[in-house]
Structure 1
Amino acid sequence: MARPFEKIAFISSATEESDLARQRLEKQYGSIPAEQADVIVALGGDGLMLQTLHRYMNSSIPIYGMNCGSIGFLMNEYSEEGLLSRLDKAEISEIHPLHMSALTADGKLHEALAINEISVFRQSAQAAKLEIQIDGKIRMDELICDGAIVSTPVGSTAYNLSAHGPILPIDAPLLALTPISPFRPRHWRGALLPNTARVKLVVRESKKRPMSAVADHNEIRSILEVDITEAPQNSCKIMFDPEHGWTERILTEQFRY
């Protein structure tokens, strides 16, 4: 019986460690161009995984990461033995990115997709002032802060977690809205939103308090407002070993002390 993942493409980040790992794995398992593969094995850290997910979004090719980098929350443990069996047993999750539409001070509209999060940051020494709208209704007329994050479940363990936001199960139909260093209201810790919500962040006093918007690694400066929604028409697939899957990872992370 044919295996479901016989045709493998290996991709490595630009480090000596990951390049050598790719060469050894290609020698052992063979390799074909990613566009012709049943599965893509990404060798590196979370940055490479995000780049690969973006590059092959909507291709239906699942991505299996093995950690050869400094950060690997999205990656499986590195091992050269038994890879075909691990791929056969891996759990596949389909994830949807966020869509950002950002209006800038020059009147231009910029669009981008984010697998992890969309963030807005102050550009100057002045604290930012944001108006927060959810589905067209003003929920907070003024948040004074360094910025704010709207995160997917995948991104909830990244910058969102560092800003004390909640960790979300990968299949949860939720988004996390988390403030960055809130000053007023000082004790507001953010909100959990349904993944169908439309989030609009409006910059107040934009000339005095300029802000940038970042969708994963795509930065737009001098924004006036940002619309954020989930993009269900776009998807990518990520694979985890069952004994070290996403559910186990988020439980482990939440019970660290």
Structure 2
Amino acid sequence: MPQRIALFGGSFNPPGLHHRVIAQRLAREFDEVRVIPCGPRPDKPVTDSIPPVYRATLADLTFGDLPRVTVDLFDLEQATFTRNWDLQKRYESLGEVWHVVGGDLVSGGALGKSLIQRTWAHGPELWQSAHFAILTRPGYTIDRADLPPQSHVIVLEEPGSSTLIRDHLVHGQNVAHFLAPRAHEYIQRYGLYRAPNPSSWARQSLSGQSYAIQADNHNAKAQGWLAEIGPGTEDKPDFITVLGGDGAMLRCIRERWRERRPFFGINAGHLGFLMNAPEQAFSSSFPPADVILRQLPMLYLEVEDRQGRVQEAYGFNDAWLERSTSQSSWLQVWVNGVERIPKLISDGALVATAAGSTAYARSMGASPLLADTPAWLLVGSNVMEPSQWRSALLSVDTTVELRNLSPEHRPVEAFVDGLSLGEVVSFRARISRAACAEVAFCASHDMAEKIAAIQFHRPQVG
């Protein structure tokens, strides 16, 4: 018997407890539930009321811990609104697909006048061939004659409305009883739905909160701190403590960013730009009482190999192409669909977020950026031609594509945060619309001072 998969799509702007209850009920009725927050919708301009990365985070915070429930972020990442016909094609190889819809969408079905039949792409065909899980709302009665041929009615008594939640937030009213606790905390932290532009940082206390610990196994200093702050917990921690250097932080972010928990790093490495100095972290009781949380963007990458296979990846610091042989690479550089450098002859090229600009980008000659700068970098490595070009500052809505002009004779390999993606013929990068990481710093930690120390070559402690 094929696995039954319920597709639960919607704006989820924001997702409320009523959405969570629906997902839990669906998980009892089906083998798997896929929650699919949609991208921009022409019929619902309010879908874009906050940037998509906040909506993606709220979806993970609301549904991410539910058994048999998976949050799929492809529509938010690609800024698309995938129609049910295309969702059917996307998921049907995994099992028997069930489309979750409200009872109002099937009203008039007996006469061929339901919204599904009249307004959906391939609506009449879907009506006859697809499976529908139909949710009833409190006080709403469904005429059995209106049901599609393959349907299952689920009676719900949980009221709720994203519109109501947004309205309460705009007017400063309490919404804690409408939201999952972690989603409510996140909305409060960044002032979502209350101002035109959400904040990207917040000040708060970690004192008394639970934390997981991830320590660099090859760093003796980090291992020595375990006895001082351990043991931590993996049972729904409030944040994640990372012991080590920037490399340890990058590994932890790569492995755990979908948990949507803040990362608090303690530097047992060298510069430790993403970390807190141990004398600050341990200056009083741990966890610290005064920290600044910064929501920092991540990179979204699509790389294509010689066989035409496309691989997606996320990175926090940087991603790059480098030559695989002794010969220089020949790359074509496109920015937002416009050819900017017809032939870049170099050892390779790198893109870096603002947070990652202090790493390889700096060693390649680019000026580092403050971590919350709304920009990112494209940097050439040992550029021979064009002789005067070294780097470019990019806006956050920019897409960069690097194409290998000679993949057979001058192969290049792609990397993201130091992890190899193999040899590729093209490399597309932009700031992700769905992925981010919250990094916590002691309030006394001065990121600007670290940048100044790098730029003016002054010795810097911590």
TM-score normalised over the length of structure 2? 0.52
Distance 2:223 2:432 in 1: 33
Of 244, 261, 264, which aligns to 1:64?
A: 264
Distance 1:232 1:248, change over 3 A: farther
Distance 2:397 2:291 in 1: 29
> SS state of the match for residue 19, structure 1?
helix
Q: Which 5+ residue runs of structure 1 have no aligned equivalent? A: none
Decide whether the 8 Å contact of 2:375 with 2:394 is kept in 1.
yes
Q: Does 1:45 align with 2:249?
A: no
Displacement of 1:82 in angstroms is 1.0
Deviations 1:172-220 (A, max 9, x none): 1111111000001122111101011010001111111100111113212
The residue number in structure 1 matching 2:216 is 13
Give me the CA root mean square deviation: 1.7
Decide whether the 8 Å contact of 1:112 with 1:218 is kept in 2.
no
Counterpart of 1:146, as a letter, is: D
The residue number in structure 2 matching 1:102 is 303
Displacement of 1:4 in angstroms is 4.4
Of 203, 213, 230, which aligns to 2:414?
A: 213
Distance 1:182 1:219 in 2: 22
Displacement of 1:71 in angstroms is 4.5
The residue number in structure 1 matching 2:284 is 82
Displacement of 1:239 in angstroms is 1.3
Distance 2:427 2:305 in 1: 9
> SS state of the match for residue 22, structure 1?
helix
TM-score normalised over the length of structure 1? 0.91
Q: Does 1:195 align with 2:399?
A: no
Decide whether the 8 Å contact of 1:153 with 1:170 is kept in 2.
yes
In the TM superposition, what are the counterparts of 1:166-185 in structure 2 within 5 Å? Answer: 166-185=367-386
Q: Name the structure with the higher helix share.
A: 2
Aligned length: 250
Distance 2:352 2:437 in 1: 16
> SS state of the match for residue 408, structure 2?
coil
Q: Does 1:160 align with 2:367?
A: no
Q: Which 5+ residue runs of structure 2 have no aligned equivalent? A: 1-204
> SS state of the match for residue 450, structure 2?
helix
Distance 1:232 1:152 in 2: 14
Decide whether the 8 Å contact of 2:362 with 2:368 is kept in 1.
yes
Displacement of 1:18 in angstroms is 1.4
> SS state of the match for residue 379, structure 2?
strand
Higher RCO by CA contacts (8 Å cutoff, separation 6 or greater): 1
Q: Name the structure with the higher strand share.
A: 1
Distance 2:425 2:242 in 1: 37
